[in-house]
Amino acid sequence: MKILIKNGRLIDPKNNIDTTQDIYIAAGKIVGIGSGPAGFEATQTLDASGLLVLPGLVDLSARLREPGFEHKATLESEMQAAVAGGVTSLACPPDTDPVLDEPGLVEMLKHKAKQLHLAHVYPLGAITRQLQGKQLTEMSELTEAGCVGFSQADVAITDTQVLWRAMQYAATFGYTIWLRPEEPYLASGGTAHDGEVASRLGLKGIPAAAETLAIASILTIARETGASIHLCRLSTAEGVEMVRAAKRQGLPVTCDVSINHLHLTEHDIGYFDPNCHLRPPLRGQRDRDALRQGVIDGTIDAICSDHTPVDDDAKLQPFGEAEAGATGLELLLPLVCKWADEQNIPLTQALAAVTTKAAAILDIPAGELSLHADADLCLLDPAQEWKVEANALQSQGKNTPFLGLHLRGKVRYTLVNGQLVYQAT
């Protein structure tokens, strides 16, 4: 298949490109930008006039719900949602059932995902067996099976000796440890940020200190062991400042933030909206502003969807009893564009956080439109307005805090390995 994409506005943060150029694709690769190779004859031509031609997005956290939670979503439904959102590579946490702590499970997931011929899936293996925080997994075998890093998902390792050994082992073999920083005892039973909204609504709060105490512990052990750390879903101003200081000291640490936390605060909970029950919780405006500044100045490396499809039975409960999480794969790109517009920063800079920088954290060849790179890209109509409604989402999870919001920016085409895997109707 040879594809010519004509007249599109090409934006590639990796190569700092923002210009109108044609792009030529053959045998799954980008074989020409601006002009094609000699003798190139397209079998398909896409007219991208008025569209943005972007690298396929790289999402650092998307729960696909298989195996074990097929009543919430299926691999196929969420992979369809991914390409509908322009996401061509995604990392999935290990909190499936069974947990991704055995090589066979990782191989099965990758095989099933590959058979669908949609986005690329990069599993994160469990750090400890069953995520119980006691016995380390066989990281080398999980790596051979296809894991790109090791995570506890949302489960903390309370035994710091186990965490220390995990980081020692990871440092020895060059693995990266992914941790969502939350001190479990301080966060226990909490459902919202420990602030004025939680007090007014009578919700048990999760203090900002639950995040900062965990970051302090993680960074201390990382400093002693030399392990590379990725901190997931930062939510507090103090947390951003701690990462900023750690980077200044030269520690090998990266971090991400969810797109939800770049846009929302505790006040969006309103009158017990369960769609705003997220982990970590939505924080105060000062925290949100610090997160936004952290992405702009590069302290925060990447923005992710934190896609967590939840079934209606689990979500439509009183706020404190509702399952945490929200769908996000199809909202990530338009919400990043909206954030860039609100911050008045160039799209090239904003998109770096969901393309080249995210790919660098995963250490995968993705998130760029370079010559000879894999042809993973999406074409976005930046002017198309749409309303976020349940029936507008391909994900099986229909719950998001942005339901009812009018957004601008809709993916028209997505290509993976040079194959057209999504076309808007």
306 belongs to the catalytic site: yes
The residue among 66, 57, 14 whose CA lies nearest residue 333 is: 57
Structure tokens at 291: 């997160």
Residues 287 and 316: beta-carbon distance below 8 Å? no
Q: Treating both helix axes as pointing N-terminal to C-terminal, what angle do 237-248 and 285-296 enclose, rounded to 10 degrees?
A: 30
The residue among 422, 416, 423, 421 whose CA lies nearest residue 30 is: 416
| Burial track 140-170 (b if 16+ CB lie within 10 A, e otherwise) | eebbebbbbbbbbbbbbbeeeebbbebbebb
Q: Which residue has the tokens 């919202």?
A: 192
Q: Which amino acid is at 195?
A: G
- What is the C-alpha to C-alpha distance for residues 231 and 284, in angstroms, rounded to an integer? 20
Residue in 154, 194, 306, 381 annotated catalytic: 306
Task: Give the pairing of strands 120-123 and 125-126.
Answer: unpaired
Angle at 56 between CA 54 and CA 57, to 5 degrees: 105
The residue among 121, 420, 400, 364 whose CA lies nearest residue 263 is: 400
**Radius of gyration of the chain from its Cα atoms, rounded to whole angstroms:** 21
Q: List the catalytic residues.
A: 306
